[in-house]
């Protein structure tokens, strides 16, 4: 069973469902749709296998009819042939993953027709032991609840129908003592009640296990996010970079790569202290992240350096984003006490762009460009060696 990531809205519903543990066998609508989507295929396979076994067992009981109902054996064979055809049709429907009501309803119709067939053969026979076929209803209700595990409303309908069929049959049969009629009716009723309790418990347990699985999935997703996030800035860390690079290696298309470095950061740290330095890194990360927009993937590259990946960007677009980030840091006017009066924090950028499968080489190119920007005076952007802007005019 494949589980997709859990959106925040569904996570809230999950918390509510886990705490409440309602006796109702239904989740809130959004969670119910997810449950059905993720379990539908497995549910159809479950029903198909058990229904196929039931069809085979139903046909084999013709041997019992030969002993118990020899006077209607031909009719029994014909009816069982019809019911088998219905079972095959339901199996074909289950292969198409139908909606829940159609799926459960089709199987329930097969079970009800099989139960009604038993009652009909019992009523049409004059064999001396025909009333013993009424015990077949016990098999039907237990099979429905514990083997098929039909959803509770359908199991309830089948149990009620089987009890009604038994009462009708035992009432119509001639020569059945009232004590026997009462005894067998009590057995069928008690079996139906026990079957319903079993069905309710099994379905509730199945749903609780599903909720617990979702909770474990959410916890795993949270741990995964933590393992990919830099604890200081909340941006991607080196592990996240490695994952992105592995994905980009086969993605195709162009990509822009920026490497940013906070200018004179060691002097800032020495002058203001490490706590202020951490706050400076957080603020710069927020500024360049906001300037990059939704399409920029921002990672902390190490220390005061940041890596920005721009999928789909060419040289010109990447340089434009870098310039927007540079201006955002400069205009934030973060005071830099280690510089002359009025000095503010700035950042330098190395820029490269090219095919996504060359991202690792582009990072090296952007890194080399960053060092040129540093040597060239800082608070500037520098294109990589393969950038059109870096090539000498002919």
Q: Which residues are catalytic?
A: 304
Long-range Cβ contacts of 142-147 (<8 Å, 24+ apart): 142/191, 142/195, 143/54, 143/111, 144/108, 144/111, 144/195, 144/199, 145/195, 145/196, 145/198, 145/199, 145/202, 146/195, 146/198, 146/199, 146/202, 147/50, 147/54
End residue of a domain, out of 220, 251, 282: 220
195: Cα separation from own chain's centroid: 31
**Would you state the pLDDT for residue 391?**
45
What integer pLDDT is reported at residue 281 of this predicted model? 96
Q: Are residues 252 and 215 in the same domain?
A: no
User: Are both 130 and 35 inside the same structural domain?
Assistant: yes
Q: For residue 349, what is the enclosing H or E element? A: strand 347-355
Domain annotation covers residue 233: no
Residues 373 and 273 in one domain: yes
Residue 297: per-residue pLDDT = 94
Model pLDDT, residue 209: 86
Tokens of 76: 């029994």
Same domain, 216 and 242: no
Quick check: is 245 in a domain? yes
The answer to whether residues 349 and 374 touch, using CB atoms and an 8 Å cutoff, is: no
The enclosing domain of 350 has a CATH number of 3.30.70.270
As for how many domains the chain has, the answer is 2
Q: Is the dihedral of CA 374, 375, 376, 377 positive or negative?
A: positive
Domain span at residue 174 reads 8-220
Predicted local confidence at residue 394, as pLDDT: 28
pLDDT at 392: 41
370 and 330 inside one domain: yes
Q: Which stretches in the chain have pLDDT values below 50?
A: 1-2, 19, 23, 391-394
Are residues 88 and 55 in contact, defined by beta-carbon separation less than 8 angstroms? yes
* pTM tops 0.75: no
Q: Is residue 173 domain-shared with residue 113, that is, in the same domain?
A: yes
Dist CA 15 CA 13 (whole Å): 5
**Does residue 209 share a domain with residue 65?**
yes
- Does 73 lie in the same domain as 183? yes
Residue where a domain terminates, one of 155, 187, 220: 220
State whether 153 and 248 are in the same domain.
no
**Is 1 domain-assigned?**
no
Q: In this structure, are 277 and 210 located in the same domain?
A: no
């Amino acid at each position: 069973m494949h589980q997709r990531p859990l959106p925040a809205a569904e996570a809230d519903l999950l918390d509510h469902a886990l705490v409440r543990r309602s006796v109702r066998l239904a989740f809130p609508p959004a969670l119910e749709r997810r449950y059905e989507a993720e379990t539908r295929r497995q549910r159809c396979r479950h029903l198909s296998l058990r229904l196929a076994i039931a069809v085979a067992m139903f046909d084999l009981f013709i041997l019992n009819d030969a002993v118990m109902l020899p006077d209607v054996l031909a009719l029994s064979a014909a009816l069982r042939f019809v019911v088998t055809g219905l079972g095959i049709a339901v199996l074909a429907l289950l292969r198409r993953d139908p909606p829940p009501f159609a799926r459960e309803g089709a199987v329930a119709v097969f079970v009800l027709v099989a139960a009604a067939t038993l009652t009909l053969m019992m009523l049409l026979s004059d064999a001396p032991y025909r009333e013993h076929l009424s015990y077949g209803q016990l098999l039907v209700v237990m099979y429905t609840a514990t083997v098929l595990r039909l959803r509770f409303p359908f199991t309830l309908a089948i149990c009620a129908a089987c009890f009604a069929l038994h009462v009708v049959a035992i009432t119509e049969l001639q020569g059945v003592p009232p004590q026997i009629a009462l005894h067998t009716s009590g057995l069928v009723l008690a079996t139906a009640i026990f079957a319903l309790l079993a069905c309710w418990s099994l379905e509730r347990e199945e749903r609780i296990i599903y909720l617990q699985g979702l909770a474990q999935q959410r916890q795993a997703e949270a741990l995964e996010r933590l393992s990919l996030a830099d604890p200081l800035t909340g941006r991607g860390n080196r592990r996240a970079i490695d994952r992105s690079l592995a994905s980009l290696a086969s993605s195709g298309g162009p990509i822009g790569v920026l490497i940013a470095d906070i200018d004179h950061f060691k002097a800032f740290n020495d002058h203001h202290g490490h706590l202020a330095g951490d706050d400076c890194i957080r603020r710069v990360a927020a500024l360049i992240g906001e300037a990059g927009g939704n399409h920029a993937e921002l990672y902390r590259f190490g220390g005061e350096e940041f890596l920005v990946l721009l999928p789909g960007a060419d040289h010109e677009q990447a340089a434009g984003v870098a310039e927007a980030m540079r201006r955002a840091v400069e205009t934030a006017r973060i005071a830099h006490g280690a510089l002359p009066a009025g000095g503010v924090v700035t950042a330098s950028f190395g820029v490269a762009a090219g095919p996504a499968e060359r991202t690792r080489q582009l990072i090296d190119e952007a890194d080399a460009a960053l060092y040129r920007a540093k040597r060239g005076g800082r608070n500037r952007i520098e294109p990589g060696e393969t950038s059109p802007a870096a090539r000498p005019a002919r």
